[in-house]
Structure 1
């Protein structure tokens, strides 16, 4: 089993600018960058025009560390303090479920652990200490 913790920066519509800034400031390399408009369409939830060019997910490599980014989705609240979360990347679904369940105890589930087009098990939870974690299970569905 592999487990990694990575900082995840939630930006308020300026993730592209932040990515360019950190590439320059930290000599970072862009490993991945996808807009909401490049994601598979879901007919049940049409994508608003103002979301299409926003960053859905990006990853930079800074030295030996990954730094992840996303813009908040239009209409979703963006609060100071929610801007930095921790992404837990795990390659074992059962371990993801166990970690998510423990982090949920006394906390608040923001998105239930569920299958997504990019992960067999992904969810977001704020633990009882107010720290928000994204649990991301690696691997193909």
Structure 2
């Protein structure tokens, strides 16, 4: 059996905004979204404060997936414990993704040619998520 790993982004009440941002920046497709209110049942009433927050969402970028949730309790801390590597085979696509993700964020390493990639860079977006963009070298 193959193991699949999917990044799961813990947000602080702004998962809907993040999903819309990544949908546009990564040309992603929304697979599913569910709010805490939609999960409510007589056995598990939903507090009014989190009713409209995202309990689970998934988007697809080609064959890759990203999952999201808004924390129902203590806030998630922004940090560098998760980095998502995006690999493309096209320099122009890498540039477009890099530029979209840097909007409101911080460039950690500019997108530039390196010995191992025709376009490599690292950016932390406005949600505190760090992305490494790698353009695969063309075969020689």
Q: What TM-score bracket applies, with the shorter chain setting the length?
A: 0.5 to 0.7
Query: In 2 relative to 1, CA 72–84 (structure 1 residues): closer, same or farther, beyond 3 Å?
Result: farther
Ranked by relative contact order (alpha carbons within 8 Å, sequence separation 6 or more), the top structure is: 1
In structure 2, the partner of 1:9 is 9
In structure 2, the partner of 1:56 is 55
What 5-or-longer segments of structure 1 have no aligned partner?
A: 87-141
Query: In 2 relative to 1, CA 47–56 (structure 1 residues): closer, same or farther, beyond 3 Å?
Result: same
Query: In 2 relative to 1, CA 24–71 (structure 1 residues): closer, same or farther, beyond 3 Å?
Result: same
Residue 56 of structure 1 aligns to a residue whose secondary structure is: strand
Listed as ranges, the matches of 1:91-130 within 5 Å are: none
In structure 2, the partner of 1:46 is 45
Shift of residue 80 of structure 1? 2.2
The structure having more radius of gyration, on CA atoms, is 2
What 5-or-longer segments of structure 2 have no aligned partner?
A: 85-140
Shift of residue 41 of structure 1? 1.9
In structure 2, the partner of 1:79 is 77
Aligned alpha-carbon RMSD (Å)? 2.4
Shift of residue 7 of structure 1? 0.5
In structure 1, the partner of 2:126 is none
